[in-house]
Chain A
């Protein structure tokens, strides 16, 4: 009961911090909402200068504009979780709170598992309506259904990514310390492997195999298979759901081990200041 109360306290504190951060900086809120469109525009414009919409449509079976707006929305949601977890120690160090976090009585793994939840909830809620206009233009009456599907899959994909992100956090900081330059290499690599912009079923075999290690890559693939009408057997659908859930669960104890090792190393070496 006490543990639960502690968890709720952390969640409430993190939620208020995120909410204040988002509402205090109105321009940040606007940029957050506009980002899926800007990124989509970037890719579509480069794409159209080297080829054509029709070639894309022929290859993927979907118009590039809604596809990339949707993919960018997915990317922003998943990246939100990755960033909240991976950047947190760096951010805490910069503002001088890392020592307090490490020395606080709350379980560190639990703390890092909770950290991304408020931003995930808030950003999904705030960004979801931005998808609707573009879907209305392209899909008319089906827009609400497609938007709902994309938002749900984005939430699930980001949620399943939490335990993996905490595992990466523990392992990364244990091996390499607070090296933000290297962290900036890990972030886009995770996004490439997730198959958000370049669907997994089109990837080369090696990348496809690496991709299966990320829980959200399976859910993203499932979403694309549904939206792009890729023939898929029920067995394969179930295997994607199964793999995603199993991996997210397997990574939980591993993340606990890695964060534990990192925290111990930090305390022994006195890296908390």
Chain B
């Protein structure tokens, strides 16, 4: 399959998802609104922790960054990881696999959809925080680190979603498990809260995973918090770790798909 054909296939995936997920039934608007209301439910009580010396803008900015990173994890879990399960449930996975185009083409079409979804939700989050607390103040103090951190985050999340997705399909795990992982992972790896605010044990555990590095770099580049190890180390180790994670994810996916071809899927139920 040549490059042009692959791009054509990716475009077909993109258009199909754009209509089905974002346009039809006002999917983008209603989905993002729902997500925002869920976030209001969980974020508003966090304001009860505010001390009188902390400004509302500071509170709002920190929450906004946490939401942005949490939303990235959500995209990875549900848009990318759960996608394989959904394809399986819809009876499409087999066709994708035997078409010879491979999953990469499918994901090439899917990633722009996630980007649109992410942009809508992040804009709504900004509006929500501005209305409830105060407009978040986003100041990029270190642009280079922001670029490195963002690239690391995309790599790590894509790798995580490929591992999660392939395991979900081959083990037949249920939706609540994916939902649970989607919550616990950003919490335990410093995705939501700066590592400096976490106990030393959790800091050490978080640093052993590839997830903490991009989150720490992004927060540092926005002047929100200091990093627990030096910034250059964060950038170097994080880049090496995320690259290694991507290679591992590719190998895991390859192995799981070959297993899938031999053994079939474990469960076809939706939940």
Contact = CB atoms under 8 A, between A and B. Distances in A.
Interface of A: 25, 27-28, 31-32, 34-35, 38-39, 41-43, 45-56, 59-60, 64, 68, 71, 94, 179, 181-182, 184-185, 188-189, 191-192, 197-198, 202
Given A42-B192, A46-B193, A94-B270, A181 B26 contact: yes
Contacts of A38: 180, 183-184, 187
Contacts of B41: 188, 191-192, 197
Nearest to A71: B45
B78 to A, nearest CB: 13
A64 B173 CA distance: 33
Which of B33, B46, B197 has its CB near the most chain A CB atoms (within 10 A)? B46
5 contacts: A51-B54, A55-B51, A181-B25, A184-B34, A188-B34
A186 to B, nearest CB: 9
B187 A45 contact: yes
A50 B34 CA distance: 24
A34 B177 CA distance: 11
Contact of A49 (B25, B31, B48, B193): B193
A198 B45 contact: yes
Contacts of B187: 38, 41-42, 45
A241 to B, nearest CB: 25
Interface stretch (B57-65, B156-164, B241-249): B57-65
A50 B180 contact: no
Nearest to B184: A38
B51 A45 contact: no
A28 B25 CA distance: 30
Contacts of A181: 25-27, 30-31, 34
A185 B194 CA distance: 30
Nearest to A182: B30
Contacts of A25: 174, 176
B48 A198 contact: yes
Given A51-B59, A184-B30, A197-B44, 6 more contacts: A27-B177, A28-B174, A38-B183, A45-B187, A184-B31, A188-B38
Contact of A197 (B37, B42, B49): B42
Which of A51, A68, A191 has its CB near the most chain B CB atoms (within 10 A)? A51
Contacts of B30: 181-182, 184-185
A54 B50 CA distance: 9
A181 B187 CA distance: 27
